[in-house]
Amino acid sequence: MAAIHELQFPVPDAGDVSAIFHRPDQARWLLLFAHGAGAGIRHPFMENLSVELAAVRMATLRYQFPYLEQRRGRPDSPAVLTATVAAALRTANESAPGLPVLAGGKSMGGRMTSQAAAQGLLPDVRGLVFFGFPLHPPNNPGTKRADHLAKVRMPMLFLQGTRDTLADLTLLRPIIKKLGDLATLHIMESADHGFHVLKRSGKTDGSALTELAQITAAWAARLSQ
């Protein structure tokens, strides 16, 4: 069984935003789960992955960025986005005191979380999880978006698909190697940026989400050792 609560929390100078706290029985971890640029907390990927994470005893706090809360099409400035991540951490600590916290998210949400970590805005977070780190715009390879990762001083898990047009693996692998023991890369064969998989892979989109959750839980367990 799991308890699911809807709530709101304030973001300084940006108003209140909505969040959904999903806590399974005997939860071992809490993941701050930020959405991607074009879809909010009720997107099927966010909802379905939260269910899969609950199955491996990981609670989630998925939360909205102000621009989507206010139904604006353009993402907020990086300063507002990182302030939202920091506010979500405060809310998580209030909602689940005592649970160790991970932070991350889908695409842009993960990148804004890592920027918040690089700025020292996420004290006591144990590690970062990226469900498709957006290394560059679609089919426009580059590495500038990863420059701040060198300032992140906590473990990071990168979950990446081989068909992800926002993360050329030939560029991402050297970045992760340079990060050393802090970075772990898990490759999802045939998955795209949304973790849709090809039928010929022998997997389904559902089994891909299960894999994401199980890999995340196994990685988190190693952080406790």
CATH number for the domain that contains residue 178: 3.40.50.1820
**108: alpha, beta or left? (left if phi > 0; alpha if psi -120 to 50):** alpha
Percent of all residues in the chain with a pLDDT value above 90, rounded to a whole number: 94
- pTM of the complete model: 0.96
Alpha carbon distance 218, 30 (integer Å): 14
Sequential pLDDT tens for the chain (225 residues): 789 999 999 999 999 999 999 999 999 999 999 999 988 999 999 999 999 999 999 999 999 999 999 999 899 999 999 999 999 999 999 989 999 999 999 999 999 999 999 999 999 999 999 999 999 999 899 999 999 999 999 999 999 999 999 999 999 999 999 999 999 999 999 999 999 999 988 899 999 999 999 999 999 999 976
Q: What is the pLDDT of residues 111-134, one digit of tens each?
A: 999 999 999 999 999 999 999 999
Q: What is the number of structural domains in the chain?
A: 1
Domain that holds residue 147: 2-223
Alpha carbon distance 180, 82 (integer Å): 25
Structure tokens at 52: 């899969």
Contact status, residue 102 vs residue 139, Cβ threshold 8 Å: no
Residues in Cβ contact with 194 at an 8 Å cutoff, skipping those fewer than 6 apart: 45, 132
